[in-house]
A and B are shown apart, each in its own frame.
Chain A
């Protein structure tokens, strides 16, 4: 048991809470550019089909715009663009996963566009979650809270709170913008 707690300390904070209160952990898995990702199912509000959104001026490219979620204005993030992958045409299977993101300002609702939703993943033993390997600075793994291997397939568990933090996204964009400016100059 001691090993379990030490391992848990490295993964997302919500995992810690879950491990003490519930037996199993549940993750919603989805695909993005052929890879599988999972997010804590308790943070998922709903899954919707893609509908055109309203563009927001002067926002980073991965912010597709805002949509109307029963009267609330909700930003929609393209996860492919967020990860720096190439974008694709949206198809019938393109879905928006609406998640609750915990931030300093309280809970935010954010939609994220993924290629398709796969399954709900049950993890009964928290020890199955492995730490993401350290690639140094070559690959940014800060949004990945852990890795799980299910039948030879690897699922990357995402820390949604960090991944979809509006502040972080804009901070990142301004750094990119500065880099681009320097490159052109």
Chain B
């Protein structure tokens, strides 16, 4: 074939993974017992696309596996197989398995054949059980991976398939179609050579053959047409019934037996863990591209149009400018200012994704874990359309998973211990914009934090001093300390005490912070505050000598003037300020950065109290300048990383300003001492 299909492989993976998400969401929404046709159809279509695609690229294992899933779904769709929770669980597990297979194929690693075989067997079993239970002899003749079945009864289709000459130009392959048909029933293929020209006239890429296909089996007309869906415009197709097909009676069966449920779930958990391992490596490969809705791109194009208008207005003004037209100039400059700001905002918006891409994985997780823990939990999600920068989204996924797991495991009580509250616990996930930040809340109506247990742990580990009174906030703060867990028993869901500190660090890495509120017996609520974007930050400009530095506003606690008598020198070296009952180390920025002409008298300058990693220090600067939003530029691109500096930005006068990295500064200072 002349077309190099290699370039489409990436698209196939992306689409397949999307398809799997659709299948997963559909399966979770599928009410047991009742066959929601529309829902099953959606799942079926997704499975079918994956099967078709994998066939094209020759991923045989994937094709075979999807085929079994598809057959099962088809039976459900036609009402021959009841939608039992066992079947749904098996299918969910298959979705996981398929995802792993795709990743394995993508990264050229080995497919876990034992797992695939096991699942495939179980799906086949479900299919066969249906055959036995319904009592009719309408079991389809599965070819390929599925164990062969007895010959189907008379009935089937006579298909005339006359491809146009250019069929293969479009990447279609008749043989694949036949293979797919063969999976539907007993297939006899009779080729028609009549169009074949003489050897000298043959174009190697043309399709001269035509076929008459006889498909015996109980495959529906729809199923057969679907096989030809890709080629129907490229061929003359006739599908006639061989013998009148008998539509099998709809058999509604309930989940009579659900053995091995526990085992099934346990296995799925291990699958999940593998899934999260995989995500780590997968993310690196995915981060290159982003899907943007056309609206956003159109908005940017419109704004660029406006910008061009303003620009031509300005250049027209500049041709023969005199002071009479100064008003017009101001007007045009205002417009330019507005255009620029709008454009900036809209370009940023391209990087924004709805938080639903993170939230969407939780229904499944809550479903699995609550079943495993034997708890009844309802997940309420709101604000999933709130948009966050893509980089931030990638970073908050794992912390959120951890928080939801905590709520499930520790927060929500098992049924019977919930007292007067409704027996079904509620976990809420909420996202919203507020004053230039994004807030994400994870709440539950469970038992809340155990203040006494935390206090005891705090005392044991020496974080709290005995005999002192602590506020709720101080006690709650303890859960963010490494190595502290109040879980009475360690489960594989949570309780190892490594977690909340990692959660907090991850959130802080993207410039956010995390807070917790809890009421015993009424539940707890964790609020994560994130910056809208990583590309822009609110900065406080400070001057040191002739230089100007930017301190991220988020890390500033306050700014104070210093009185000389409040300063002590520790070991003659490190200066500390007695301040609000604590001792604050003073970092003289001009010393650290070697600035000239800076104020060196502590009383004449200002101390900016900043906080990072839970530690506070005072940065000594000459003066505060203004506050402004700055866009972060990389120093590393043309230069290198500088310790204590997070990046650079262009100031209003066109000069470069350095953005301070507070936690880096504290580290540098510690190393120097």
- A101-120 vs B, Cβ < 8 Å mask (1 yes, 0 no): 00000001110000000000
Complex: chain B residue closest to A166, CB-CB = B640
Question: Contact at B638–A75, with CB atoms within 8 Å?
Answer: yes
A130 to B125 CA separation, bound complex (whole angstroms): 82
Which among A2-10, A49-57, A143-151 touches the partner chain? Answer: A49-57
Contact A72 B642 (CB under 8 A): no
Q: Would you list the 7 A-B pairs with minimal beta carbon distance, nearest first?
A: A57-B593, A54-B656, A75-B639, A73-B648, A108-B638, A109-B638, A66-B656
User: Is B592 a contact of A73 with CB atoms below 8 Å?
Assistant: no
Bound Cα distance from A46 to B658, whole angstroms: 24
Bound-state Cα–Cα, A68 to B657, Å: 10
- Chain A residue numbers with a CB within 8 Å of B548 are 54
B547 at interface by CB-CB < 8 Å: yes
A83 at the interface (CB under 8 A from B): no
Which residue of chain A has the shortest Cβ distance to B649 in the bound complex? A73
Could you tell me if A54 and B638 are in contact, using CB atoms closer than 8 angstroms? Answer: no
Contact of A41 with B by CB under 8 A: no
Which residues of chain A are near B595, meaning CB under 8 Å?
55
| Nearest neighbor of B592 in chain A, beta-carbon distance | A57
How far, in whole Å, are A57 and B643 apart by their CA atoms in the complex? 8
The answer to whether B639 touches A72, judged by C-beta atoms less than 8 angstroms apart, is: no
Is A170's beta carbon under 8 Å from chain B?
yes
Q: List 13 A-B contacts (CB under 8 A).
A: A54-B547, A54-B648, A54-B658, A57-B642, A58-B644, A59-B642, A68-B655, A68-B656, A72-B633, A72-B637, A75-B638, A108-B639, A170-B640
- Told that A55-B547, A66-B639, A74-B638 touch, could you supply 19 new A-B pairs with CB distance under 8 A? A53-B656, A54-B656, A55-B593, A55-B594, A57-B593, A57-B594, A57-B658, A58-B593, A58-B594, A58-B642, A65-B656, A66-B635, A72-B637, A73-B639, A75-B639, A108-B638, A166-B639, A166-B640, A170-B640
In the complex, B536 has a CB within 8 A of chain A? no
Q: State whether the Cβ of B6 lies closer than 8 Å to any Cβ in chain A.
A: no
Q: Give the size category of A's interface with B.
A: 20 to 34
Q: Interface code B541-556, partner A: CB below 8 Å = 1, 0 otherwise?
A: 0000001100000000
Task: Identify A108's interface contact among B637, B645, B650, CB under 8 A.
Answer: B637
Decide yes or no whether A19 CB sits under 8 A from chain B. Answer: no
A75 to B656, CA, bound (A): 11
Does B581 reach chain A (CB closer than 8 Å)?
Answer: no
Q: Which residues of A contact B634 (CB under 8 A)?
A: 73
CB pair A73–B633 under 8 Å, yes or no, is yes
CA distance A57 to B655 in the complex (A): 16
Given A66-B648, A71-B650, are A56 and B639 also a contact pair (CB < 8 Å)? yes
How far apart are the CA atoms of A110 and B594 in the complex, in Å? Answer: 22
**Contact assessment for A110 and B642 in the assembled complex, using a CB-CB cutoff below 8 Å:** no
CB-based nearest A residue for B593 = A57
Determine if B654 is an interface residue (Cβ-Cβ < 8 Å). yes
* A72 contact from B592, B638, B654, Cβ within 8 A: B638
Contacts of A54 in B (CB 8 A): 547-548, 648, 655-658
B448 → chain A, closest Cβ, in Å?
47
Cβ-defined contact, B637 with A73, below 8 A = yes
Q: How far is the CA of A170 from the CA of B642 in the complex (A)?
A: 12
Distance from A22 Cβ to chain B, minimum over Cβ atoms (Å): 28
Residues of B within 8 A of A67 (CB): 656
Contacts A66-B656, A68-B655, A73-B648 given: A110-B643 contact, CB under 8 Å? Answer: no
Q: Which residues of B contact A71 (CB under 8 A)?
A: 633, 650
Bound Cα distance A150, B634 (Å): 42
Task: From known contacts A57-B593, A166-B640, infer whether A73 and B635 are also in contact, taking CB-CB under 8 Å.
Answer: yes
Inter-chain contacts of B657 with A (CB < 8 A): 54
Residues of chain B lying within 8 A (CB to CB) of residue A57: 592-594, 642, 644-645, 658
* Least CB separation from A59: chain B residue: B642
Chain B residues 576-615 with CB under 8 Å of chain A are: 592-595
Q: Among B592, B594, B644, find the residue whose CB has the most chain A CB atoms closer than 10 A.
A: B594
Q: Report the minimum CB–CB distance from B650 to chain A (whole Å).
A: 5
Complex CA distance for A14 and B333, rounded to whole angstroms: 46
Report Cα–Cα, A55/B592, bound state, in Å.
12
Q: Which of B592, B655, B656 has the most CB of A within 10 A?
A: B656
Q: Which residue of A lies closest to B596 (CB)?
A: A55
Residues of A within 8 A of B639 (CB): 56, 66, 73-75, 108, 166
Cβ B547 vs Cβ A58 within 8 A: no
Min distance, Cβ A177 to any Cβ of chain B, angstroms? 14
Q: Nearest chain B CB to A82's CB is how many angstroms away?
A: 15
Q: In the complex, are the beta carbons of A73 and B638 less than 8 A apart?
A: yes
Interface residues of A in 46-105 (CB under 8 A from B): 52-59, 65-68, 71-75
Chain B residues contacting A108 (CB-CB under 8 Å) are 637-639
Once the chains bind, are B650 and A68 in contact (CB under 8 Å)? yes
Binary CB contact string for chain B from 645 to 673 against chain A (1 if under 8 A, 0 otherwise): 10010100011111000000000000000
Which of A56, A72, A109 is the most central at the interface, judged by chain B CB atoms within 10 Å of its CB?
A: A56
A9 CB, nearest partner CB in chain B, Å: 31
Task: Say how far B642's CB is from chain A's closest CB, in angstroms.
Answer: 6
Residue of B nearest to A100 (CB): B638
Query: Which chain B residues lie closer than 8 Å to A73 at the CB level?
Result: 633-635, 637-639, 648, 656
- Residue in A closest to B639 when the chains form the complex, CB atoms: A75
Bound: A68/B658 CA distance, A: 12
Contacts of A75 in B (CB 8 A): 638-639
Shortest distance between the CB of A45 and any CB in chain B (Å): 11
- Complex: A68 Cα to B640 Cα, angstroms: 16
Closest residue of chain A to B656, judged by CB? A54
Instruction: Say which residue of B633, B642, B654 sits within 8 Å of A56 (CB atoms).
Output: B642
How far, in angstroms, from A108 to B637 measured CA to CA in the complex?
7
Closest to A63 in B: B639
Tell me the bound Cα distance from A73 to B647 in angstroms. Answer: 10
Chain B residues with Cβ below 8 Å from A66 are 635, 639, 648, 656
Known: A53-B656, A67-B656, A68-B655. A58 touches B643 (CB 8 A): yes
Residue of A nearest to B645 (CB): A57
Name the distance in Å between B214's Cβ and chain A's nearest Cβ. 61
Q: Please indicate the chain B residues that have their CB under 8 angstroms from the CB of A170 in the complex.
A: 640
Determine the distance from Cα of A71 to Cα of B657 in the docked complex, in whole angstroms: 12
A contact residues around B645 at 8 Å (CB): 56-57
Instruction: Map CB proximity to B onto A146-185 as digits: 1 under 8 Å, 0 otherwise.
Output: 0000000000000000000011001000000000000000
Q: State the CA gap A71–B649 with chains docked (Å).
A: 8
Shortest CB distance A77–B (Å): 10
Closest B residue to A53 by CB, please name it. B656
- Smallest Cβ-Cβ distance to A67: which chain B residue: B656
List chain A residues, Cβ under 8 A from B638.
Answer: 72-75, 108-110
Instruction: Give the nearest-CB partner of A74 in chain B.
Output: B638
CA distance A48 to B650 in the complex (A): 18
Closest Cβ of chain A to B537, distance in Å, is: 16
- CB-defined contacts of B650 to chain A, threshold 8 Å: 68, 71
> In the bound complex, what is the Cα–Cα distance between A42 and B648 (angstroms)?
28
Contact between B643 and A68, CB atoms less than 8 A apart = no
- Residue in chain B with minimal CB distance to A70: B650
**How far does the Cβ of B347 sit from chain A's closest Cβ, in whole Å?**
13
Chain A residues with Cβ below 8 Å from B635 are 56, 66, 73
